[in-house]
């Protein structure tokens, strides 16, 4: 899990005004808090940390695409965490879990995998983009917007950044294929070291031990409640609609991510069983470790908004600890302590270039794509919504829009087929909200 200490600040600090050091500290504190909460309350050996995909959603969907400030995005993280807590203590969890068809849940996972893998390819300096003459305009903030004539292409490997990105991918892929423990973490370290003679990594001014950097947390902590955060989300009607739809998309991602990871790794190890899923659907309260773990996960996600980072989730890498005997919360306590021990070393972690963390995004994307085999591609009722979810999420570079496309076309197809009764009311309402969001955006210009 340690690779998230490199990757999360690298992704979130892209947002203007969000300091790398502050995110670094917030990432560690969120991981330690979430892991300790699950360990001590649910007594299960799972590690929690800001999730891959959820951090990409924060930066590229909420901030870059939709246009929220990072303070507003933190407020949305807080809101979604509270929603997860609410549905975990009520019967709403039954309706949410069963309202969305399994193939759409798998599509969302695959789409996020493609999305973050694409970010990895960009950060590795693998891609360039060609704009036709006269097809683009320069925005006030210095950005460039083009029409669909813009085309991506593979970079020419004649500059050190692209070369380092290629070396990093080769190293990490080799380690993963050889099933080396800690492959992603080791790959980041080796790639960073290779970046020194290439002139990309400068270690001459690095402060290897710097306690003062911890104070930078105050630049992001509780920023969600400032005038640029929560109050701003409800400042006008257009923003309210955006806030609702964006929160729904993030909420669904958090919910399915947590349930999927807990069930997937827990069943294999025997920590959870089929009765846990049944209790999730049929009972209130917290009668099992599974329900306690989900409750703790929701609280930890809400607290992330307070600390100043994207939402946490349970890490599939927890399976490595479980596989060698981890069965209780003691495993989580050790994980949390090790995260906290990294706090004074922000200067050391900050020298890691994006070409070293980019392969980690690609690897995680590959892992998340595994659920694509569960989709019935021969049945157009599944194939069309699934394809649109995955393709629009990655090609339009927007997780929220991908989920919206899948939900809307699922409803359209069911109506066309005369199977409107198969559309769950919750799914229909969410699809309608997404549709209203698109209409409002079009009318706004």
pLDDT of 109 above 90: no
Mean of per-residue pLDDT scores for the chain: 88
> Looking at the 3D structure of the chain, how many domains does it have?
1
How far is residue 72 from each of residues 58, 309, 409, measured CA to CA in Å? 10, 12, 29
pLDDT of 66 above 70: yes
Domain that holds residue 100: 4-444
Task: Name the DSSP class of 311.
Answer: P
Task: Name the DSSP class of 376.
Answer: -
What does the pLDDT average to over 2-14? Answer: 94
What does the pLDDT average to over 159-175? Answer: 95
pLDDT of 140 above 70: no
Q: Give the model confidence (pLDDT) of 26-44 as tens digits.
A: 999 999 999 999 999 999 9
pLDDT of 438 above 90: no
pLDDT of 18 above 60: yes
Would you tell me how many other CB atoms lie within 10 Å of the CB of residue 186? 16
What does the pLDDT average to over 273-301? Answer: 74
How far is residue 359 from each of residues 16, 170, 178, 184, 365, measured CA to CA in Å? 24, 9, 16, 8, 10
pLDDT-derived band at 136, boundaries 50, 70, 90: confident
In the prediction, which pLDDT does 423 show? 95
d(CA 22, CA 30): 12
Where does 234-288 have alpha helices with state H? Answer: 237-269, 274-282
- pTM to 2 decimal places: 0.87
Contact between 271 and 44 (Cβ < 8 Å): yes
Share of the chain above pLDDT 70, in %: 93
In the prediction, which pLDDT does 292 show? 87
What does the pLDDT average to over 20-24? Answer: 95
d(CA 234, CA 237): 7
In the prediction, which pLDDT does 390 show? 95
What does the pLDDT average to over 160-184? Answer: 94
What does the pLDDT average to over 306-322? Answer: 89
pLDDT of 287 above 80: no
In the prediction, which pLDDT does 337 show? 97
Q: Give the model confidence (pLDDT) of 395-405 as tens digits.
A: 888 888 999 99
Q: Higher confidence at residue 130 or residue 428?
A: 428
In the prediction, which pLDDT does 85 show? 87
In the prediction, which pLDDT does 427 show? 92
Phi, psi (rounded to 5 degrees) for 422: -80, -10
d(CA 205, CA 214): 18
pLDDT of 263 above 80: no
């Amino acid at each position: 899990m340690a690779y998230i200490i490199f990757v999360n600040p690298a992704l979130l600090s892209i947002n203007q005004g969000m300091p790398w050091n502050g995110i670094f500290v917030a990432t560690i504190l969120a991981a330690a808090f979430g892991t300790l909460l699950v360990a001590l309350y649910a007594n299960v050996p799972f590690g929690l940390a800001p999730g891959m995909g959820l951090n990409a959603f924060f930066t590229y969907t909420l901030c870059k695409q939709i246009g929220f400030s990072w303070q507003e995005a933190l407020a949305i993280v807080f809101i979604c965490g509270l929603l997860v807590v609410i549905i975990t203590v009520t019967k709403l969890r039954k309706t949410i879990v069963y309202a969305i068809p399994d193939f759409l849940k798998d599509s969302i996972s695959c789409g996020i995998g493609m999305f973050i893998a694409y970010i990895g390819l960009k950060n590795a300096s693998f891609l360039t983009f060609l704009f036709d003459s006269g097809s683009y305009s320069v925005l006030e903030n210095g950005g460039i917007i083009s029409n669909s004539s813009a085309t991506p292409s593979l970079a020419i490997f004649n500059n050190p950044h692209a070369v380092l990105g290629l070396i990093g991918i080769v190293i990490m892929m080799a380690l993963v294929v050889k099933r080396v423990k800690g492959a992603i973490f080791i790959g980041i370290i080796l790639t960073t070291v290779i970046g020194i003679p290439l002139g990309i990594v400068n270690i001459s001014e690095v402060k290897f031990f710097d306690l003062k950097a911890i104070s930078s947390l105050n630049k992001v902590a509780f920023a969600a409640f400032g005038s640029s955060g929560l109050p701003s989300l409800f400042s006008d009607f257009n923003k309210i609609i955006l806030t609702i739809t964006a929160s729904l998309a993030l909420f669904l991602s958090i919910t399915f991510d947590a349930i999927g990871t807990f069930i997937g790794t827990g069943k294999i190890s025997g920590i959870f069983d089929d009765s846990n899923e049944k209790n999730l659907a049929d009972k209130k309260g917290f009668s099992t470790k599974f329900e306690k773990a989900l409750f703790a996960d929701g609280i930890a996600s809400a607290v992330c908004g307070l600390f100043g980072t994207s939402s946490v989730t349970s890490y599939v890498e927890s399976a490595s600890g479980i596989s060698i005997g981890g069965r209780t919360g003691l495993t989580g306590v050790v994980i949390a302590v090790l995260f906290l021990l990294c706090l004074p070393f922000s200067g050391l972690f900050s020298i890691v270039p994006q070409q070293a963390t980019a392969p980690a995004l690609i690897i995680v994307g590959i892992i998340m794509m595994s659920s694509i085999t569960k989709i019935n591609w021969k049945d157009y009722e599944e194939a069309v919504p699934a394809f649109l979810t995955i393709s629009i999420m990655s090609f339009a570079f927007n997780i929220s829009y991908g989920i919206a496309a899948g939900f809307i076309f699922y409803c359209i197809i069911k109506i066309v087929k005369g199977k409107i009764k198969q559309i769950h009311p919750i799914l229909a309402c969410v699809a309608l909200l997404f549709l209203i969001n698109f209409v409002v955006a079009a009318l706004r210009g």
